[in-house]
């Protein structure tokens, strides 16, 4: 075998192999900015919630009925004293733990036995509820969303900060005035409730 032939077999010829290099990766900051821009472009606008246009109701529960209310998304009371209309803002107050969860939005007018047999048939005045804006802001875990909507509100703080009365004034009313409802929303916000989490802008 000649020297020329051996050089060709060993790749020692004069031909050069062109190496194609991948394009450089974008800087981390640029990639982050691009991702943020894309997310902003696809995000739905915040829903404006005009608090002065709403009716406000508080439904009472205990540790046992609390879970059934949230599992069924159904609030109930013994009697039909105050008519709840679709779109009203509702709060669930667990008097056994002083936990206030809400607000929710009534997805139906109140009625008698909307779900027959619910709550063992004891509470026949019922209203279907839903999460405000259906939790648009991407909280997929309902338990986590409920946790963010729950705060400890003692009867004393409710009476003083919402009703503007003495700590032992009276039991928590089922229907709040618009002013009382707005004060309750303010109290929950001070305790960490976030309108943005549910894609809301309060007015």
User: The domain spanning residue 116 has which CATH number?
Assistant: 3.10.590
* Most confidently predicted of 12-21, 88-97, 148-157, 163-172: 88-97
pLDDT band at 48 (very low <50, low <70, confident <90, very high): confident
User: Mean pLDDT over residues 67-74, rounded?
Assistant: 92
Q: Is residue 70 helix, strand or coil?
A: helix
Alpha-carbon separation of residue 16 from 8, 11, 124 (angstroms): 13, 10, 87
**Residue 200, phi then psi, degrees to nearest 5:** -115, 150
Domain presence at residue 161: yes
Q: In this structure, how many other beta carbons lie within 10 angstroms of the beta carbon of residue 127?
A: 25
Domain presence at residue 76: yes
Tell me what the pLDDT averaged over the chain comes to: 75
Residues whose CB falls within 8 Å of the CB of residue 7, separated by 6 or more in sequence, listed in order: 13
Domain presence at residue 32: no
Q: Residue 115: enclosing H or E segment and its boundaries? A: none
Share of the chain above pLDDT 90, in %: 24
Domain presence at residue 143: yes
Tell me the residue range of the domain where 128 lies.
47-202
pLDDT band at 7 (very low <50, low <70, confident <90, very high): very low
- Between CA 61 and CA 112 the distance in angstroms is 18
**Per-residue confidence (pLDDT) for residue 51, from 0 to 100:** 81
Number of domains in the chain: 1
pLDDT band at 186 (very low <50, low <70, confident <90, very high): confident
Q: How many H helices and E strands in the chain? A: 6, 10
Domain presence at residue 77: yes
**Per-residue confidence (pLDDT) for residue 158, from 0 to 100:** 84
Q: Is the pLDDT of residue 21 over 60?
A: no
Domain presence at residue 22: no
User: Mean pLDDT over residues 65-81, rounded?
Assistant: 87
Domain presence at residue 66: yes
Q: Is the pLDDT of residue 106 over 80?
A: yes
Domain presence at residue 168: yes
User: Mean pLDDT over residues 151-177, rounded?
Assistant: 77
């Amino acid at each position: 075998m000649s020297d020329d032939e051996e050089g060709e077999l060993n790749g020692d010829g004069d031909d050069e192999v062109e190496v194609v290099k991948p394009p450089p990766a974008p800087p981390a900051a640029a990639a982050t900015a691009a991702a943020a821009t894309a997310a902003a472009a696809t995000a739905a606008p915040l829903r404006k919630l005009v608090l002065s246009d709403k009716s406000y109701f508080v439904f009472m529960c205990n540790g046992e009925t609390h879970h059934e209310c949230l599992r069924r998304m159904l609030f109930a009371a013994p009697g039909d004293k105050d008519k709840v209309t679709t779109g009203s803002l509702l709060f669930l107050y667990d008097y056994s733990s002083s936990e206030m969860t809400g607000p929710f939005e009534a997805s139906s007018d109140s009625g008698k036995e909307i779900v027959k047999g619910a709550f063992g048939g004891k509470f026949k005045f019922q209203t279907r509820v839903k999460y405000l804006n259906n939790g648009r802001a991407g909280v997929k875990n309902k338990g986590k969303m409920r946790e963010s909507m729950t705060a400890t509100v003692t009867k004393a703080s409710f009476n003083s900060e919402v009703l503007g009365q003495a700590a032992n004034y009276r039991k928590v009313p089922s229907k709040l005035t618009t002013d009382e409802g707005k004060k309750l929303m303010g109290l929950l916000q001070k305790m960490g409730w976030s309108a943005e989490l549910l894609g809301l802008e309060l007015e």
